[in-house]
């Protein structure tokens, strides 16, 4: 999973040549991506995500975004995790936040019984692939990473108030605001 900002691009931003500080710069690249992901809720690198949600009595919001592809839903029953068939749930992956809901059971045998059991289970795990494909992260969020990388390099790891203000301003249109 390549980072949205390459080592070469970060070094261009920092106006650096040579390799003496490559490890420090690579660490800053990862830290900058993590900061942007935490602030905006956008996963800049596509990867597997496992979320644990409570009872699935109605629609639940998933934190992972964008491009959510649910690969497995399991619920706790009798001390073991049991998988649901894909026909037992539906996913709305395009909207933000992505949502997961059980399909109303059509009967009490087979998958209908599993869906009914999942509705009352205290633990549901959702495994999915989510995040931007390689090279598809929004340019503005890549720019924020470069701002943060430069600030981390200049401050040797710490971020100035000015860098944080700049980063949050650039990220604001991408943040999911909740009431």
Alpha helices in the chain (DSSP H): 7-14, 22-40, 111-120, 139-154, 161-171
Q: How confident is the model at residue 17 (pLDDT cuts 50, 70, 90)?
A: very high
User: Lowest-confidence range among 6-15, 34-43, 153-162?
Assistant: 153-162
7-18 average pLDDT score: 96
pTM equals 0.87
Per-residue pLDDT tens over the stretch 116-146: 777 788 899 999 999 999 999 999 999 999 9
Alpha-carbon gap, residue 118 to 74, rounded angstroms: 8
Mean per-residue pLDDT over the chain, rounded: 91
What residue spans define the domains of the chain? 7-43+134-174, 47-130
7-43+134-174 in CATH: which number? 1.10.3230
Alpha-carbon gap, residue 54 to 173, rounded angstroms: 30
pLDDT for residue 108? 46
DSSP three-state, residue 178: coil
pLDDT for residue 71? 97
pLDDT over threshold 90, residue 167: yes
58-76 average pLDDT score: 93
């Amino acid at each position: 999973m390549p980072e949205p900002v390459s080592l070469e691009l970060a070094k261009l931003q920092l106006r650096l040549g040579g390799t003496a500080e490559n490890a420090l710069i690579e660490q800053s690249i990862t830290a900058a991506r993590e900061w942007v992901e935490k602030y905006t809720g956008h996963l800049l690198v596509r990867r597997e995500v496992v979320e644990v949600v409570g009872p699935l009595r109605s629609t639940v919001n998933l934190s992972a975004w964008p491009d959510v592809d649910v690969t497995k839903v399991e619920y706790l029953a009798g001390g073991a995790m049991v998988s649901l068939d894909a026909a037992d749930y539906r996913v709305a992956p395009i909207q933000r936040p992505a949502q997961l809901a059980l399909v109303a059971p059509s009967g009490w045998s087979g998958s209908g019984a599993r869906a009914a059991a999942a509705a009352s289970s205290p633990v549901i795990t959702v495994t999915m692939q989510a995040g931007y494909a390689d090279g598809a992260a929004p340019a503005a969020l890549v720019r924020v990473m470069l701002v943060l990388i430069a600030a981390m390099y200049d401050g040797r790891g710490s971020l100035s108030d000015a860098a944080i203000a700049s980063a949050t301003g650039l990220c604001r249109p991408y943040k999911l605001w909740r009431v």
